[in-house]
Amino acid sequence: MGLPGYLMDVFLVPMAFISSASSASPAAAKGAKPKGKGGFQAAQALAKQKALEKKAAKYKLPLGELAIFTQQLASLLNAGLPLVQCLEALQDQTEDPVFQIVIRDVRADISTGNSFSTAVKKFPNSFNTLFISMVEAGEASGGLAEILGKVAGYFEASVKLTKKVKSAMTYPIAVIGLAVALVNVLLIFVIPVFAAMFADFGAKLPAPTQFLIDLSDFMKAWWWAIGIGAYLTYWIVGKYTATPKGRRHKDQFLVKAPIFGNLIHKIALSRFCRTYATLIRSGVPILRTLEIVAAASNKVQIEDACDEIARHVSQGGQVSDVLAANPFFPPMMKHMVKAGESTGNVDGMMTKIADFYDVEAEATVASLTSLIEPMLIVFLGVVVGGIVMAMFLPIFQLGAVAGGLQ
């Protein structure tokens, strides 16, 4: 006997609901896990993006990467591409995730109607003062691509010279570091073994040997104090050189340093001349040029000279007058600048002076490299050989020392 229709409906509807829920729940459970995992990955990606954006606001772009970016941007502009499209292409091809965000924000700022110079001013650590001023000059003259090509050449020359100096200094720094490590190993681990052996002699040791043993005992007992003292000295010197007075003393010492002072002086003169020539040739006003040159020089001597030149030029004077009275600038440079002023070709003369000092700096680096190698060999021989001789001196005098035991 069958059930009435309404009872059949009451019975079948809940069963169908249970069946559909049970069949759907595995799929729902199966889909819930990827959704949770995807949400975590999205949150992680968002946190990483925010961290990169925060870092981009104060990101200091290396000069080598800025040179590549400037050269590529100049090439794309010369090809006729719009600036926004050029920046989009550079954003896609750069491998630095932080610099990608910098380019993205600059491109977005330009898309809203701001100028290129206004957009890059928001990232002063990534784009230095020279780059920003050259962009302003390019926008004012309508030759942005040409001016960016010039500043790219300037950056490349600076990077090339810096790399040569660093490569020349790598060898002596590595050798000196190895010598310091070797001396510490001898003092802390080797000399105590000899000290214990010499203690059995019961006689007075030679003065060099006794000095090394005392020094070894001191370093073993007070190595932590030596480390703290070295760190505090480094910190105090860093704080002092950060002050205007300390920075002046540091720059004066570096220029007059016995071995590297001449090289530092030539590099400073080359940077002064090349920066000045690049800016003047690009149409930057002379007073603004002097401000940028002073900021890019990183030397108080050139900063003082630029301030003095700015005051003198404002009163109708010439650059060569100030250079002639400043002992920081050599006579050859003063005469060439004066000749450039007479012929109306100051930027050309400044470029020739910069090329001359670049060659001089490279020659100085080469001569220093050839000079430092034998000096380091002599240094290592005297230090390490002196330690070895001092420790074996009692053995050489074994008859006299051992006589105290009889």
CATH of residue 92's domain is: 1.20.81.30
pTM for the structure as a whole: 0.74
pLDDT number for residue 8 = 42
395: which 2 tokens?
């053995």
Query: Is residue 137 within 8 Å of residue 149, measured between CB atoms?
Result: no
pLDDT number for residue 238 = 92
pLDDT number for residue 84 = 92
Whether residues 104 and 163 share a domain: the answer is no
Give the residue numbers spanning the domain of 108.
63-127
pLDDT at 72 over 90: yes
The answer to the question of residue 197 being in a domain is yes
Whether residues 215 and 122 share a domain: the answer is no
pLDDT single digits (tens) 121-167? 999 889 988 899 889 888 888 888 989 998 898 899 888 888 888 88
Whether residues 315 and 367 share a domain: the answer is yes
pLDDT number for residue 248 = 92
pLDDT number for residue 398 = 65
Element (H, E) at 327: none
Taking alpha carbons only, the member of 251, 216, 262, 225 closest to residue 365 is 262
CA distance 116 to 86: 12
pLDDT single digits (tens) 267-322? 999 999 998 998 888 888 899 899 989 988 889 999 999 999 999 999 988 999 99
CA distance 38 to 207: 74
pLDDT at 258 over 70: yes
What does DSSP assign to residue 127? S
CA distance 32 to 30: 6
Long-range contacts of 388-392 (CB under 8 A, 24+ apart): 389/208, 390/206, 390/208, 390/209, 390/211, 390/212, 391/190, 391/191, 391/194, 391/209, 391/212
pLDDT number for residue 266 = 92
Whether residues 116 and 177 share a domain: the answer is no
pLDDT number for residue 37 = 61
Whether residues 167 and 274 share a domain: the answer is yes
Please count the structural domains in the chain. Answer: 2
CA distance 271 to 276: 8
Whether residues 342 and 279 share a domain: the answer is yes
Q: Which of 108, 127, 146 marks a domain boundary?
A: 127
pLDDT number for residue 401 = 46
Question: Percent of the chain at pLDDT above 90?
Answer: 31
CA distance 224 to 226: 5
The answer to the question of residue 354 being in a domain is yes
pLDDT single digits (tens) 73-116? 999 999 999 999 999 999 998 888 899 999 999 999 999 989 99
Q: Which residues are within 8 A (CB) of 145 and not within 5 positions of it... i.e. 6 or more apart? A: 74, 77, 78, 138
Whether residues 160 and 247 share a domain: the answer is yes
Query: Is residue 282 within 8 Å of residue 147, measured between CB atoms?
Result: yes
Amino acid at 328: F
Whether residues 160 and 120 share a domain: the answer is no
Tell the residue number behind the tokens 């290129």, with chain if given.
116
Between the alpha carbon of residue 276 and those of residues 6, 127, 208, 248, 289, the distances in Å are: 99, 18, 57, 22, 6
Mean model confidence pLDDT for the chain: 83
The answer to the question of residue 1 being in a domain is no
Whether residues 181 and 114 share a domain: the answer is no
